[in-house]
Amino acid sequence: MPVYTCTAAQGSLTSDLKARLAAEITRIHADINHVPPAYVNVVFSDLPADSVFAGGRPATPLILTGWVRRGHPQEEATRLALELSSATARISGVDESRIMVVLQDSPARSAVEGGHVLPEPGEEREWLRRTEA
């Protein structure tokens, strides 16, 4: 259901770090938004160092963007962003001052996974039952 993209300069994240980050992003999202871990998608985008800037200057930020279904309580969305930022810093070794987490949302009905329109938050069990049948 959710899609997270972690963007960093090439070479700043090893394969092991990517695997650990993906596992922790998945765990945090599944715990807070009550979805099965199998439905959390994490992709990595490695850009050449000369393609990453902050403040108009070459930089090495780590940017985590995520798409989530609209309708989760704001307190949970804020908690999700904060926990993702902290975990990303802890695992990657990148100072949290260089990490940006942005969560974007849209209605569940605007997304399709596995040929099925996504459920509204709170309707996951029924959706899973219908899609697994």
Give the pLDDT band of residue 8 (cuts 50, 70, 90).
Answer: very high
CA distance 21 to 28: 10
For residue 99 the two structure tokens come to 């990490």
pLDDT in tens, 13-70: 999 999 999 999 999 999 998 888 988 999 999 999 899 888 899 988 999 999 999 9
pLDDT in tens, 69-125: 999 899 999 999 999 999 999 999 999 999 999 999 999 999 998 888 998 888 888
28: exposed, middle or buried (Cβ count in 10 Å: 0-12, 13-18, 19+): buried
Ramachandran angles phi, psi of 65, nearest 5°: -110, 145
pTM over 0.75: yes
The region that residue 20 occupies, defined by phi over 0 for left and psi between -120 and 50 for alpha, beta otherwise, is alpha
What domains can be seen in the chain, in order of their start residue?
3-132 (3.30.429.10)
